[in-house]
């Protein structure tokens, strides 16, 4: 049947009679519309970032960057300690969340599947775990803050501290790291796994020498997203980090991140210009961190990138 | 006939309740090329994967009977050790996203070899055996993925040789290659058979005729359970098959 053309059925328009002019015009219309919307989106982004940079830029100077806040309603002083605290908190949070999240994802993708075949209990647990990861990703961050406050600050008596805040922050970014790592692992072709196993490598060797390096760009993406999340988060740290503007000297000290300081400046003081300045520093910082991590991951995965 | 390298005795394989292979008895001779041919879905690739236990990776697979490598039951061996002895080349070239050097050094490295000099030696020897050395000797640091399809497949063969197996399994190794690259792979298979026992699955009758010393014809009926119809020297299978189904298949009447 295939290949034979029934004589009763004919096309409404042949190549000669079809109205190509209109069709091209329709195509042009839709493409223009999409182009326009794309442009609007980019413009909005540029507007927001541009406004913050221009307005805030006026307040940014060497003094702001290098002196600690003085506290009080006037909002005097700089932001030096809050920059340092931000870095401490990002580092500590990722130190906790990355190994946990990556391991969880590796287990769920590389091991759980085959193990769950033999155990109904395990299969149920894995389904619950996957569901939990998905749900956690959509929960408002203040919930993580409250949870962190109850568990780390008061029950475990870590107080308002870098430790409490980074543990709560880790809870916040874990779903992100798990999901992005899972997706990165799923994107690694099974051909690599089979090729490695067929050469007499163990499953662990296959994972550590082939699969994880190939998944590294995706894992790095998850880490970048998490860095941004921690830098820009206020709710969680409002109730776990305290608000001390002094430089923390141990993980048990309270502190104030840039975003938190910005929040205090905007809500509790008259120093709106300094709030904008802090915002500008925040934006530049996120930009620089993304840039650096991207460069590192490009170096790390020079061989891998050519796959795609 | 030479000594048998691989022997199966009443070997059957099931995917869950579905029987994919039934009572296969075969004696694959040492240092010869044995081709497995037959229509799609007759279980020849599944059968091939039995020799390095890659079927273990598929959930729900169960086997009966035995498969012997040098007279030893390979289901009693450690699969990691077995796969070092029985290498495999896949249908689609699958070099790792690493340099040519690291691709080939991968196998020796997982066994614990770290000595740079020895690795260099192995890489050169393997690439020479796989007829790829002259093309890549000046660019060993280049990613394996930058090679052409045919070169990638020879890289994969070199990678398999580097762990010094005695058997090499090939699952339609030229299926995704152009005719010239295919011929080079076939030449290579021919040369390698001096030192290695090669079992190759192929859909291509001419290829089976060109490269193999022995041919096994697999067939399946509406039950989809694969069985071995005939196994003999390739000459005999192609000129004077004893089973009508073999003759119908190789003369292109079906499949």
Answer whether B228 touches A (CB < 8 Å). no
Residues A150 and A48 in one domain: no
pLDDT in tens, A75-85: 788 888 999 99
Answer whether B106 touches A (CB < 8 Å). yes
pLDDT in tens, A193-234: 999 999 999 999 999 999 999 999 889 888 988 998 999 899
Least confident of A20-24, A133-137, B81-85, B227-231: A133-137
Whether residue A6 has pLDDT greater than 60? no
A:174-193 residues touching chain B, CB 8 A cutoff: 189, 191-192
Whether residue A305 has pLDDT greater than 70? no
**Residue A274, pLDDT score:** 87
Task: Identify all chain B residues contacting A307, using CB atoms and an 8 Å cutoff.
Answer: 97, 145
Residues 6+ apart with CB under 8 A from A247: A68, A81, A84, A85, A255
Whether residue B204 has pLDDT greater than 90? no
Beta pairing partners, B170: B89, B200
Residues A87 and A173 in one domain: yes
Residues A265 and A205 in one domain: yes
Whether residue B75 has pLDDT greater than 60? yes
Q: Of A38, A57, A76, which closes a domain?
A: A57
Residues A53 and A67 in one domain: no
**Smallest Cα–Cα separation from B28: which of B247, B232, B246, B226?**
B232
Whether residue B191 has pLDDT greater than 70? yes
CA–CA dist A233, B184 (Å, integer): 60
Residue B31 · residue B193 · CB < 8 Å: yes
How far does A216 lie from chain B, in Å, by closest CA? 12
Beta pairing partners, B233: B214
Q: Are B94 and A192 a contacting pair at CB < 8 A?
A: yes
CA–CA dist B168, B62 (Å, integer): 23
Q: Are A303 and B99 a contacting pair at CB < 8 A?
A: yes
Beta pairing partners, B231: B216
pLDDT in tens, A62-73: 888 888 888 777
Answer whether A304 touches B (CB < 8 Å). yes
Residues A50 and A121 in one domain: no
Residue B171 · residue B88 · CB < 8 Å: yes
Inter-CA distances, A99 with A95, A135, A177, Å = 7, 21, 10
pLDDT in tens, A46-62: 999 999 999 898 888 88
Residues A43 and A92 in one domain: no
Task: Closest CB to A199: pick one of B83, B99, B143.
Answer: B83
Beta pairing partners, A16: none
Inter-CA distances, A166 with A80, A130, A144, A264, B204, Å = 20, 23, 11, 20, 61
Task: Identify all chain A residues contacting B143, using CB atoms and an 8 Å cutoff.
Answer: 303, 306
**Residue B3, pLDDT score:** 79
Torsion sign (Cα): B74, B78, B81, B83: positive
Answer whether A199 touches B (CB < 8 Å). yes
Give the single-character DSSP code of B99: B
Measured between CA atoms, the residue of chain A closest to residue B163 is: A199
Measured between CA atoms, the residue of chain A closest to residue B170 is: A198
Give the count of domains, chain A. 2
pLDDT in tens, A246-265: 888 888 988 899 999 998 88
Work out the pLDDT band at A269, boundaries 50, 70, 90.
Answer: confident
- The fraction of chain A above a pLDDT of 70, given in percent, is 92
Task: Closest CB to A210: pick one of B83, B84, B96.
Answer: B96
Answer whether B80 touches A (CB < 8 Å). yes
Whether residue A117 has pLDDT greater than 80? no
CA–CA dist A235, A232 (Å, integer): 10
Inter-CA distances, B59 with A12, A249, A289, B15, Å = 52, 53, 43, 8
Residues A16 and A136 in one domain: no
Answer whether A202 touches B (CB < 8 Å). yes
Task: Closest CB to A202: pick one of B59, B80, B160.
Answer: B80
Structural domains of chain B, ranges and CATH numbers in brackets? 4-95+166-250 (3.40.50.300)
How far does B219 lie from chain A, in Å, by closest CA? 27
pLDDT in tens, B36-68: 999 888 899 999 999 999 998 888 899 999 999
Q: Are A205 and B92 a contacting pair at CB < 8 A?
A: no
**Residue A7, pLDDT score:** 54
Mean pLDDT for the stretch of residues B91-110? 95
**Residue A5, pLDDT score:** 52
Q: Token match 């541009």: residue?
A: A50
How far does B91 lie from chain A, in Å, by closest CA? 10
Residues A220 and A303 in one domain: yes
B60, B96, B102, B166: which to substitute to probe chain A, counting the most A Cβ within 10 Å?
B96
- The fraction of chain B above a pLDDT of 90, given in percent, is 82
CA–CA dist A166, A215 (Å, integer): 26
Residues A104 and A246 in one domain: yes
Residue-range definition of the domain harbouring residue A1: 1-57
Residue B68 · residue B147 · CB < 8 Å: no
Mean pLDDT for the stretch of residues B144-148? 93
Residues A47 and A135 in one domain: no
How far does B246 lie from chain A, in Å, by closest CA? 30
Average pLDDT, chain B: 92
Whether residue B238 has pLDDT greater than 80? yes
Q: Are A191 and B90 a contacting pair at CB < 8 A?
A: yes
| pTM (two decimals) | 0.83
Whether residue B227 has pLDDT greater than 80? yes
**Residue A301, pLDDT score:** 65
Q: What CATH number is attached to the domain comprising A70?
A: 1.10.3720.10
CA–CA dist B112, A103 (Å, integer): 25
Task: Identify all chain A residues contacting B84, using CB atoms and an 8 Å cutoff.
Answer: 199-200
CA–CA dist B116, B105 (Å, integer): 10
Answer whether B94 touches A (CB < 8 Å). yes
Q: Are A198 and B145 a contacting pair at CB < 8 A?
A: no
Higher pLDDT, A31 or A4: A31
Measured between CA atoms, the residue of chain A closest to residue B153 is: A195
**Smallest Cα–Cα separation from A259: which of A291, A290, A227, A288?**
A227
Task: Closest CB to B59: pick one of A117, A189, A210.
Answer: A117
**Residue B254, pLDDT score:** 66
Mean pLDDT for the stretch of residues A139-153? 93
Residues A134 and A227 in one domain: yes
Q: What is the dihedral of CA A114, A120, A124, A129, to 10 degrees?
A: -30
Q: Are A213 and B97 a contacting pair at CB < 8 A?
A: yes
Task: Identify all chain B residues contacting A214, using CB atoms and an 8 Å cutoff.
Answer: 96-97
Residues A28 and A175 in one domain: no
Residue A211 · residue A193 · CB < 8 Å: yes
Whether residue B1 has pLDDT greater than 50? no
């Amino acid at each position: 049947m295939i290949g034979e053309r029934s004589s009763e059925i004919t096309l409404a328009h042949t190549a000669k009679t079809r109205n190509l002019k209109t069709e091209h015009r329709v195509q042009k219309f839709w493409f223009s519309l999409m182009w326009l919307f794309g442009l609007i989106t980019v413009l909005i982004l540029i507007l927001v970032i541009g406004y913050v940079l221009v307005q805030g830029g006026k307040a940014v100077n060497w003094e702001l960057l290098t002196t600690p806040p003085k506290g009080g309603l006037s909002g005097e002083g700089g932001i030096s300690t809050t920059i340092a605290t931000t870095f401490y908190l990002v580092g500590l949070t990722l130190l906790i969340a990355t190994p946990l999240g990556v391991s969880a994802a590796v287990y769920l993708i590389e091991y759980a599947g085959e193990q769950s075949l033999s155990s109904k209990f395990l299969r149920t647990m894995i389904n619950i775990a996957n569901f939990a990861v998905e749900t956690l990703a959509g929960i408002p961050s203040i919930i993580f803050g409250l949870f962190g406050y109850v568990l780390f600050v008061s029950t475990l008596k870590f107080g308002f501290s870098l430790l409490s805040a980074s543990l709560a922050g880790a809870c916040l970014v874990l779903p992100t790291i798990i999901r992005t790592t899972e997706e990165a692992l799923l994107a690694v072709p099974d051909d690599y796994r089979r090729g490695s196993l067929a050469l007499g490598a163990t499953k662990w060797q296959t994972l550590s020498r082939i699969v994880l390096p190939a998944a590294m760009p995706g894992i790095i993406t998850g880490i970048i997203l998490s860095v941004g999340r921690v830098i820009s988060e206020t709710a969680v740290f409002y109730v776990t980090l305290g608000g001390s503007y002094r430089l923390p000297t141990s993980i048990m000290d309270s502190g104030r991140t840039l975003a938190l300081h910005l929040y205090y400046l905007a809500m509790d003081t008259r120093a709106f210009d300094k709030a904008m300045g802090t915002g500008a520093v925040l934006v530049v910082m996120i930009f620089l961190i993304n840039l650096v991590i991207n460069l590192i991951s490009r170096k790390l995965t020079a061989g891998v990138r050519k796959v795609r | 006939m030479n000594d048998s390298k691989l022997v199966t005795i009443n070997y059957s394989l099931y995917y869950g309740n579905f029987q994919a292979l039934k009572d296969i008895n075969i004696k694959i001779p040492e240092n010869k090329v044995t081709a497995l041919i037959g229509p799609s879905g007759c279980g020849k690739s599944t059968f091939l994967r039995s020799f390095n236990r890659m079927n273990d990776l598929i959930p729900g697979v169960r086997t009966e009977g035995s498969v012997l490598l040098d007279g030893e039951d390979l289901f009693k061996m450690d699969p990691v050790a077995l796969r070092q002895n029985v290498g495999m080349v896949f249908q689609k070239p699958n070099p790792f996203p690493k340099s040519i050097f690291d691709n080939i050094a991968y196998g020796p490295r997982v066994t614990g070899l770290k000595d740079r000099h020895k690795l260099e030696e192995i890489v050169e020897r393997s690439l020479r055996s796989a007829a790829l050395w002259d093309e890549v000797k000046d660019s060993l640091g280049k990613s394996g993925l930058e090679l052409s399809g045919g070169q990638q497949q020879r890289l994969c063969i070199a990678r398999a040789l580097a762990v010094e197996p005695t058997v090499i399994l090939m699952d339609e190794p030229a299926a995704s290659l152009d005719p010239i690259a295919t011929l080079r792979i076939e030449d290579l298979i021919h040369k390698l058979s001096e030192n290695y026992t090669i079992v190759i699955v192929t859909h291509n009758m001419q290829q089976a005729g060109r490269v193999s010393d022995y041919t096994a014809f697999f067939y399946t009926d509406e039950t989809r359970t694969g069985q071995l119809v005939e196994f003999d020297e390739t000459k005999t299978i192609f000129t004077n098959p004893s089973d009508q189904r073999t003759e119908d298949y190789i003369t292109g009447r079906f499949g």
